[in-house]
Amino acid sequence: MKRVGYIRVSSKDQNLERQLDGMKAIGIEEKDIYIDKQSGKDFDRVGYQYMLKGLREGDILHIHSLDRFGRNYNDIIAEWNNLTKVLKVDIKVLDMDLLDTTKHKDLLGNFISDLVLQVLSFVAHKERDSIKQRQKEGITALRARNNGKGIGRPSIEVSKDFTAAYKQWKANEVTAVRAMELSGLSKATFYRKVKEYETAQKQG
């Protein structure tokens, strides 16, 4: 049995220390903690997929809260069932004791856990919809102030996490997948930033 932790924040500049401290407080080693710095709209995340490949039957996955797991109702339910019923991995949601599959193994326990899971998944999904709606309204308002002109695609700055991961990758100290995980970037964004970074280095 292996105990692992999964941490997610929605963007690179969000602080993940609270989740990290929570994992360490229950005795999970840092090498067994997987991190993503991207949206929870689906499970196509570098850190999550990297973690998934290493999970085995009987392992326990720890998550700070359900919204850190995901934001899409159907995806959360499907992935939860894949982990618990197909891979036979237990899950502990640290801020919701009812969502602890190591404790609730009887019929009533499973019923309560499934009910709570569906309610919280729905809440997480609705919150994501609300965020998207607020973003849409913000963009519409900004375009109105700019006389209908587009606001353009914001550039992604090169972070310290990316620079460190890039150097380790170029020195063959880590794989590309691990570098993506360390920098909190998707595959497409990582390679785009590599190109931008290397171009800037040549020009500098």
Distance of CA 57 to the CA centre of its chain: 22
**Structure-block tokens of residue 123:** 């809440």
| In a shared domain, residues 115 and 173 | no
Q: Please state whether beta strands 3-9 and 60-63 pair in parallel, antiparallel, or not at all (unpaired).
A: parallel
| In a shared domain, residues 108 and 186 | no
Q: Write the pLDDT tens digit of every residue in 50-65.
A: 999 999 999 999 999 8
Range of the domain at 101: 3-120
Q: Write the pLDDT tens digit of every residue in 118-154.
A: 776 766 676 656 656 666 666 666 667 666 655 554 4
- Are 10 and 40 spatial neighbours (Cβ–Cβ below 8 Å)? yes
* Cα distance between residue 121 and residue 130, in whole Å: 14
Q: Has residue 145 been placed in a domain? A: no
Q: Has residue 136 been placed in a domain? A: no
Q: Has residue 131 been placed in a domain? A: no
**Structure-block tokens of residue 92:** 């502990």
Decide if pLDDT at 16 tops 50: yes
| In a shared domain, residues 185 and 103 | no
Domain boundary among 120, 148, 173: 120
| Residue at 24: amino acid letter | K
| In a shared domain, residues 114 and 166 | no
**Structure-block tokens of residue 32:** 């067994």
pLDDT, position 153: 47
| In a shared domain, residues 93 and 165 | no
| In a shared domain, residues 114 and 167 | no
Residues serving a catalytic function are 10
State whether residue 190 is helix, strand or coil.
Answer: helix
Decide if pLDDT at 11 tops 90: no
Domain boundary among 71, 100, 120: 120
Q: What is the pLDDT of the chain when averaged over all its residues?
A: 82
Q: Write the pLDDT tens digit of every residue in 152-196.
A: 544 446 677 888 889 889 888 888 888 888 888 888 888 888 888
pLDDT, position 20: 92
Domain count, the chain: 2
Domain boundary among 120, 150, 168: 120
Q: Write the pLDDT tens digit of every residue in 103-115.
A: 867 665 565 567 6
